[in-house]
Chains A and B, each alone.
Chain A
């Protein structure tokens, strides 16, 4: 039953349950359109790819732990580091953030589902098959091997032999299609489906972060999709986009990739910022200080991130004056991030600390992300970058920002929201072990890499000789990696133990302010028995003192929801959500088939379009049940 709102009458509630549940069969599981089920699916799958990527990372640290270790030859090593980066960036970091948002956003904004649930459901299958296809290539000895950013000409037709880079290029299609589909769903949901009274400025910061990152995705992902397809055309159809001998340009790929690539790290970072903004007020027991400043910071971070990409290309011969511009932009983006950091510190300072595990990971975030951000500033300066780019200094930097800026907040988010998702509390003591092992292990693994970079160790080398003197620090790094592995083991142990016999959580174990904590843990399929009306930024801390508190008039027999206006969330239109359907998985499979076929055949690229076309038409075509339902509640505007 909801927090303080009156419950529905028993028969209405029974209708609501019937309308929103899925049959407990395999078909029900496949055809579900419940954003929570789909979000969980994404997070679990992303974590599996994370562990796979982690194993690959561990292999590299082991290989490099002493000079002259060549258990893994250069060919396999090149595939290992490519798969590590590709899996982490494309198959873990972005999908996990989107999956968490898919789960949380409708709950946080007080609605029953996302705007386009079939699209998100379909995107999961595309993601899953895409990731498995990439790993299938690796397992069968044709793994992508040109690095996670696949520069041409190395990944092009002349030097990228075999099918390896084809797998990579097509993977990009898979993951970017998925990313775009979810981004469109989440952006529309945050703009149009908020509970009445939740104006944009009352919308939780996590929802803002989701909105900003989704819009960024919409403008950045098409570029890399286009670019990867241009490379594919060079490889498969004889085009010359990147062939200097026929008027093409090698650097064109770098521009296209990094124009996407730089915003991409912000698709990962911005949602993490949103998670932190959700956690801190709860554990400081006060509303976020500088809420509006943080919103503006998120938006400006989103904008500015599109203006940095050339800082990945300082060592090329792009014009020097241009490079200085990008230095200025790279420095400038630090300012909105700094504003957020200071607002968070202010919130903590002005509050009453609750020292629980989510906050521990927030502190870890502060320390780690700061180091990464500061080395990022160093890398933004052209002269410094010229010495340390493409060395282990950059490897250190990127891991500090990704693990500090994304993984620590993600773990904090898991400790915070796991009780909501599964109804069980995670163990605080195991959380401490997890945290300290991670903090120590991570710093041992990656801090020495800064020094190695300054001492001349380039990236992406499968071994080195003893006279370089790189052995000691690499050994220390390997020890750190093993400690990190231990921390992951503790994390998994905590999860398994909690699922088995964790303390029941109740709907609001933390006394938090946002709407998701007004539902049961785990939430019912329909999220809220009654759609709440909101009158403040912290709905559970300041429920409406006067005026309406909840919505009535929506059908409980059909899956009916409410569409509100963008700025002030005034109730506008009633909306019938789609019912569970096999078309998302069918369409997903046909798209996947088309993409896989295109790896091997140009004809496949064309003919393979036919099944998805049929599937999408069938998806759209209204069934008699759908039409009947629409007509039953129809009211013309």
Chain B
């Protein structure tokens, strides 16, 4: 569930605070103005019923109402402006010492995540999932490969657009463990609807374990089916687009599949990552995600099963 008001980190919490203040303020103004209107209608109705002469009286009272209401509205607006500016400043002041650096590149219609590190052999890539440590700032560098996309994890922060030709960043922190959903929030073509990524906040030790695991190549496939699947993967069209570390598959046009089996979803949120769904996906991704850049592969059933078996070993 994604929910901007269920803040799991300080950025979203600040924004949620601003939301509640604004909501109460605006609700109050709404009730006040509607009450004034109701009063005016009632008064006007009474004057009509009493057939009073054309009332030009009490212009001063009316003038004071208009003036006073305007002044009050202006004051409230200035107040809200102040709160907004303060919130803005708080958002910009997230401590970023020792932050985790991740580079996200948005593609039509999937997300590429590269976990950066000054040591080149500690850099690893994944796709359509963002695993982060609790309590540590994350600075995400954002780039777009094709059209404008937008990075949005409502439980953690507001949006930031990924714009071709520009590099931007967004900084946030998760303060409690949990699973959240991130979505693309800028219309980007046919499958904007299915461009989600799982965001998982892990306690620091479990995160460290995960990162170590990601760095390592996947386990060797066990069983004839899985080994056959790997052979198909490496000699067929899969390796043209996808990469699996430790093999000759180093394609960059599609998501990195090194630890694919550990992910919750296939196709950037199109469907849950289960063997049957995976089989359907490989055979005809167009059925689940029409317009996706992955072509259909109508393989003999045995081959398909082998491929799925192999992919299931990529934990």
Give the interface of A toward B (CB within 8 A): 73-75, 78, 146-147, 151, 153-154, 158-159, 244-245, 248-251, 284-286, 289-290, 293, 315-317, 320, 323-324, 327-328, 331-332, 334-335, 338-339, 341-343, 345-346, 348-355, 363, 366-367, 370-371, 374-375, 377-378, 380-391, 454-456, 458-465, 468-469
Contact = CB atoms under 8 A, between A and B. Distances in A.
Contacts of B66: 289-290, 293, 339, 342-343, 346
Given A159-B146, A317-B161, A349-B43, A147 B80 contact: no
B158 A315 contact: yes
B165 A383 contact: no
B185 A345 contact: no
B15 interface: yes
Contacts of A390: 150, 152, 159, 185-187
A322 to B, nearest CB: 12
Given A74-B190, A154-B187, A250-B165, A383 B91 contact: yes
A251 B33 contact: no
A386 B148 contact: no
Nearest to A321: B88
Interface in B179-222: 181, 183-193
B3 interface: yes
B36 A345 contact: yes
B184 A458 contact: yes
Given A154-B188, A383-B91, A345 B4 contact: no
Contact of A455 (B1, B44, B157): B1
11 contacts: A73-B290, A75-B190, A75-B291, A153-B164, A154-B189, A245-B165, A352-B55, A353-B45, A377-B22, A378-B23, A455-B154
B160 interface: yes
A221 to B, nearest CB: 24
Interface of B: 1-5, 12, 14-15, 18-19, 22-23, 26, 29-30, 33-34, 36-37, 39-41, 43-45, 47-48, 52, 54-59, 62-63, 65-66, 69-70, 73-74, 77-78, 80-81, 83-85, 87-88, 91-92, 108, 146-148, 150, 152, 154, 157-161, 163-166, 168, 181, 183-193, 269, 290-291
Nearest to B153: A456
A378 B87 CA distance: 13
B158 A286 contact: no
A481 B1 CA distance: 26
Given A153-B164, A320-B92, A335 B15 contact: no
A400 to B, nearest CB: 11
Given A331-B81, A342-B66, A459-B187, A154 B4 contact: no
Given A335-B70, A338-B70, A384-B19, 12 more contacts: A74-B190, A316-B163, A324-B88, A342-B65, A348-B43, A349-B43, A353-B45, A370-B33, A377-B77, A384-B15, A386-B160, A390-B159
A341 B33 contact: yes
Contact of B148 (A151, A456, A460): A151
A101 B14 CA distance: 46
Nearest to B86: A383
A331 B75 CA distance: 11
A383 B88 contact: yes
A378 B161 contact: no
Given A75-B290, A320-B88, A348-B44, A153 B148 contact: yes
B4 A349 contact: no
Contacts of B83: 381
B183 A458 contact: yes
A374 B70 contact: no
Contact of A315 (B19, B41, B160): B160
Nearest to B148: A151
Nearest to A316: B161
A383 B14 contact: yes
A350 B55 CA distance: 6
Contacts of A151: 147-148, 186-187
Contacts of B159: 315, 386-387, 389-390
A560 B166 CA distance: 61
Contact of B158 (A343, A377, A387): A387
A383 B3 contact: no
Contacts of B36: 342, 345
Given A159-B147, A315-B158, A250 B193 contact: no
Tell which of B14, B34, B154, B168 has the most Cβ of chain A within 10 Å.
B154
